[in-house]
């Protein structure tokens, strides 16, 4: 399933900046950054549960926020992209 993850981490202090880096790093391990604090992640149910648990443990729930948008398995018809930064195919071949 494709999950869109967005986050807003309060960076007014050093601890917040550290949390922001950790959240971004964890998201990079599971998906593709599509905007500054937005990731598209192609996950199975176990990966989704694990990532959600990890991110919840990283944030300060009184200062930060996370949003998970479950687009499901038939996400292709639910995404429309306009503008720069060409879209990518999450299930396609990744060349490093």
Work out the percent of the chain whose per-residue pLDDT is above 90. Answer: 68
State the pLDDT at residue 71: 84
pTM of the entire predicted model:
0.77
pLDDT bracket for residue 82 (50, 70, 90): low
Closest CA to 23 of 59, 69, 63, 65: 59
**What is the band of 1 on the pLDDT scale with cuts at 50, 70, 90?**
confident
- Sorted by sequence, the CB contacts under 8 Å of residue 23 that are 6+ apart come out as 7, 9, 55, 58, 59, 64, 66
43 to each of 60, 63, 73, how far by Cα in Å? 24, 27, 10
Indicate the average pLDDT of the chain: 86
């Amino acid at each position: 399933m494709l999950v869109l993850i967005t986050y807003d981490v309060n960076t007014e202090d050093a601890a917040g900046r550290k949390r922001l880096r950790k959240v971004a790093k964890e998201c990079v391990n599971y998906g593709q950054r599509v905007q500054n604090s937005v990731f598209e992640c192609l996950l199975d149910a176990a990966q989704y549960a694990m990532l959600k648990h990890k991110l919840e443990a990283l944030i300060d729930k009184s200062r930060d926020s996370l949003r998970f948008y479950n687009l499901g398995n038939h996400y292709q018809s639910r995404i429309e992209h306009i503008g720069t930064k060409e879209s990518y195919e999450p299930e396609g071949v990744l060349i490093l």
